[in-house]
Structure 1
């Protein structure tokens, strides 16, 4: 399991270092989504820092509304590269920030033991990003 407090603390510090503000934090503790999400707000944009619920892997993405009622939200995340924020997040101890290039690679089950083989066969994600950050039930 991911240390949610450490993830939140790391996002808060990265926002502070890059002139942003942590404005929203959502814990993915239901079956879906498979990730936690922190929204960092800048004067010209919002950025989501997402973290896999079962592994200390993070990515940067366009913010995604995580609403559960009346129906669960679904769909792939759009990953983004923001070098300044990425540099700040690489300093978060115990976590690894994945790049857009890595997230776009084909799924390698050996690289992601936390993803069940059944889910990979059933959902057939095309990329590592889809396999790690998803709304599968």
Structure 2
């Protein structure tokens, strides 16, 4: 299980180290999604630090726009982003977590390498990339 307090603390510290500012946290408190997000704003863009709820996996993604009026949320696969300085800061701040880089996340998914992901989910959802398999909105 991910320690939300440590995740939040690491996002604030990583933002300070990289010249960003934490805007908000989107903490998953229901079945979906299977990850939390911390949004960090920079002058040129905003990034989401995604952290899986059940394991210590971290990734950087483009933040989603949520439509509160229509009642829809963010359910498509994440669009992962490259942010080497932010990834390096997170790796230092959360050494027990695995910080995944863009090429890993967008690379092919091999179910034998990730036995903790349900075979039934893999069969039903058919993730095409590692990022889709690890950070998802599967119910």
TM norm structure 2: 0.91
Determine the structure 2 residue equivalent to 1:105.
107
In structure 2, C-alpha distance between the alignment counterparts of 1:10 and 1:102, rounded to whole Å: 22
Q: How does 1:74-85 map to 2 (within 5 A)?
A: 74-85=75-86
Structure 2 unaligned blocks of 5 or more: none
How far did residue 65 of structure 1 move? 3.3
Determine the structure 2 residue equivalent to 1:58.
58
Aligned length: 137
Q: Secondary structure at the match of 1:40?
A: strand
In structure 2, C-alpha distance between the alignment counterparts of 1:25 and 1:76, rounded to whole Å: 19
In structure 2, C-alpha distance between the alignment counterparts of 1:74 and 1:27, rounded to whole Å: 15
Determine the structure 2 residue equivalent to 1:87.
88
Q: How does 1:1-137 map to 2 (within 5 A)?
A: 1-65=1-65, 70-91=71-92, 92-137=94-139
Counterpart contact for 1:55–1:114, Cα < 8 Å: no
Structure 1 unaligned blocks of 5 or more: none
Q: Secondary structure at the match of 2:6?
A: helix
Deviations 1:22-46 (A, max 9, x none): 1111111211111100000112210
Dislocated runs of 4+, deviation >3 Å: 65-69
Q: Secondary structure at the match of 1:90?
A: helix
How far did residue 71 of structure 1 move? 3.2
User: Does the C-alpha gap of structure 1 residues 111 and 4 become closer, same or farther in structure 2, counting only changes over 3 Å?
Assistant: farther
